[in-house]
């Protein structure tokens, strides 16, 4: 028998309609780290740009601050939890592969039986998840998607490894994505994504027999890759959104290292970005929170009055995989 299946009705576009973030209370300074490992405040500030970071208590689960960020984003959107039908949590630091974070977080927030899945593209995860949310809304599969980037890196860090424990931190950032009823209202540009799988050993968990089970990073290799390969991805995201670099008001790269942020921003300036383009430097007081770093930075910049509704933001995430992704987003 031949039948004609009906597709869900398409929506002209998608946009971000709410923001929120959450960090553990505990502030850990460079001096505090220097009490336990051979490092110092000056080295960390100069080489990474971090002054302090937030670290969760061992018994505080990732889903707790993920849910806090998500609730704030829903309230910011002017919605109630029952309006959200889908939740995506971008994370690579759950303590176990199952159960996923998304279903638990949705339950904590009070969503009603949402579609719920996690996405692991490490530090690029938020951009991947935001792109997925935009496509779900445009295709009519979802109406309102809660996208959360949440990490508890402190669980996976070797606190004796000074090359990683000084960088990574905990936190969560969230956005609500909803429909744009006209093409003019569209607030999320096309996703540009990719990976360099040949570099997979450069950031990984040391899981061979006898190894620590903690994060390892070949810092210099990743540093070189990020400072030379990220600006073309950012540029492609701008072009695919039908814009030029001079249209970008705010640049929000993954907060991996302040020297990487500044190096990529410098390249974008050379390629046509305006001198007054604001650049996210949230790593200074948040550390590197992997998939949480981009939404955390945006929420903090908005709270500080550095960005406002309608600003054109260029996001680009990159990290373990190696995976990368970027898109242009209009600030809600
Ligand atoms: O988020 C996912 C993506 N990740 C990234 O993008 C991270 C990219 N990489 C980086 O950000 C940097 O490579 C690091 C911050 C990880 C390291 O900085 P670096 O400037 O590349 O340092 P290095 O590893 O080349 O080490 C330079 C020196 C070494 O000493 P020697 O061999 O020259 O005597 C290290 O042992 O600095 C030493 N060192 C430290 N010294 C004081 C390494 N870590 C520390 C430390 N304190 N915490």
What pLDDT, in 10s, does the model give residues 127-149?
999 999 999 999 999 999 999 99
The fold for domain 192-330 equals Peroxisomal Thiolase; Chain A, domain 1 (3.40.47)
Res. 30: pLDDT tops 90: yes
Could you tell me if the CB of 215 is within 6 A of ligand 1?
A: no
Verify whether ligand 1 is closer than 6 Å to residue 219 (CB atom).
yes
Q: How confident is the model at residue 181 (pLDDT cuts 50, 70, 90)?
A: confident
Tokens 């950031």, located at residue: 203
* Selected catalytic residue, list 30, 144, 254, 257: 254
Cα–ligand 1 centroid distance for 31 (angstroms): 17
User: Is the pLDDT assigned to residue 159 strictly greater than 90?
Assistant: yes
**Exposed / middle / buried, residue 150 (Cβ in 10 Å: 0-12, 13-18, 19+):** buried
Cα of 226 vs centre of ligand 1, distance in Å, is 14
The yes-or-no answer on residue 331 being catalytic is no
Annotation marks residue 288 as catalytic: yes
Task: Decide the pairing of beta strands 170-180 and 13-22.
Answer: antiparallel
Beta carbon of 260 within 6 Å of any ligand 1 atom = yes
- Ligand 1 pocket mutation pick from 223, 262, 283, 294 by most atoms within 8 angstroms of CB: 223
* DSSP letter for each residue of 182-251: SGGG--BPPPEEEE-GGGGGGEEE--STTS-SSEEE-HHHHHHHHHHHHHHHHHHHHHHTT--GGG-SEE
Q: How far is the CA of 44 from the centre of ligand 1 (A)?
A: 9
For atom 17 of ligand 1, the residue with the nearest CA is 219
Q: Which residues pair with 87 in a beta bridge?
A: 116, 146
Question: What was the pLDDT predicted at 184?
Answer: 87
Task: Give the ranges where the chain is alpha helix by DSSP (H).
Answer: 30-34, 41-47, 62-76, 101-109, 125-139, 219-240, 258-270, 283-286, 293-303
Residue 182 has pLDDT above 90, yes or no: no
Mean pLDDT of 279-286: 98
Considering the chain, what is the average pLDDT of its residues? 97
Whether the CB-CB separation of 313 and 327 falls below 8 Å is answered with no
Mean pLDDT, range 173-185, rounded to an integer:
93
257 lines ligand 1 (CB under 6 A): yes
β-pairing, 170-180 vs 145-152, is antiparallel
* CA 219–ligand 1 middle distance (angstroms): 6
39 pocket-lining for ligand 1 (C-beta < 6 Å): yes
Q: Is the dihedral of CA 325, 307, 11, 70 positive or negative?
A: positive
pTM here is 0.97
Residue extent(s) of CATH 3.40.47.10 domains in the chain: 13-185, 192-330
Whether 322 lines ligand 1, by a CB cut-off of 6 Å, is no
Give one word for 302, left, alpha or beta, with left for phi > 0 and alpha for psi -120 to 50: alpha
Under 8 Å between Cβ of 129 and 149? yes
Does the Cβ of 41 fall within 6 Å of ligand 1? no
Least confident of 58-62, 183-187, 300-304: 183-187
Q: What is the pLDDT of residue 9?
A: 87
CA of 166 to the centre of ligand 1 (A): 10
Assigned token pair, 123: 């530090």
- Given a cut of 90, whether residue 13 has pLDDT beyond it is yes
Ligand 1 pocket test target in 47, 259, 318 with most atoms within 8 Å of CB: 47
Q: How far is the CA of 121 from the centre of ligand 1 (A)?
A: 23
What average pLDDT score do residues 199-209 get?
Answer: 96
Range 13-185 has CATH code 3.40.47.10: yes
For this structure, is 254 an active site residue?
yes
According to DSSP, residue 113 is labeled S
């Amino acid at each position: 028998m031949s039948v004609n299946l009906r597709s869900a009705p398409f929506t002209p576009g998608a946009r971000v309609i709410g923001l929120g973030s959450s960090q553990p209370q505990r502030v850990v300074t460079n001096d505090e780290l220097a009490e336990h490992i051979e490092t110092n405040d000056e080295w960390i500030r100069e080489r990474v740009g971090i002054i302090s970071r937030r670290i969760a208590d061992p018994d505080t689960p990732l889903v707790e601050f993920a849910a806090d960020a998500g609730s704030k984003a829903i309230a910011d959107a002017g919605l109630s939890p029952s309006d959200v039908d889908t939740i995506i949590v971008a994370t690579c630091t759950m303590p176990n592969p199952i159960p996923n974070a998304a279903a638990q977080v949705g339950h904590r927030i009070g969503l009603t039986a949402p579609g719920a899945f996690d996405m692991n593209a490490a530090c690029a995860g938020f951009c991947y998840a935001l792109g997925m949310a935009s496509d779900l809304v445009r295709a009519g599969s979802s109406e309102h998607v809660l996208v959360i980037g949440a990490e508890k890196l402190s669980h996976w860090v070797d606190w004796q490894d000074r090359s990683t424990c000084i960088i990574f931190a905990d936190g969560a950032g969230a956005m609500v994505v909803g429909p744009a009823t006209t093409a003019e209202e569209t607030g999320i540009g096309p996703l540009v994504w990719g990976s360099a799988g040949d570099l997979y050993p450069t950031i990984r968990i040391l899981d061979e027999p006898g190894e620590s089970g903690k994060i390892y990073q070949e810092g210099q290799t990743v540093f070189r890759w990020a400072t030379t390969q990220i600006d073309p991805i950012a540029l492609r995201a701008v072009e695919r959104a039908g814009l030029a670099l001079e249209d970008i008001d705010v640049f929000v790269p993954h907060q991996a290292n302040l020297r990487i942020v500044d190096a990529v921003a410098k390249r974008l300036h050379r390629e046509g970005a305006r001198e007054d383009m604001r650049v996210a430097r949230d790593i200074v007081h948040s550390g590197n929170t992997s998939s949480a770093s981009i939404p955390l930075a945006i929420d903090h910049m908005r709270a500080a009055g550095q960005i406002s509704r309608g600003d054109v933001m260029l996001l680009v995430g990159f990290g373990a995989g190696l995976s990368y992704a970027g898109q242009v987003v209009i600030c809600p």
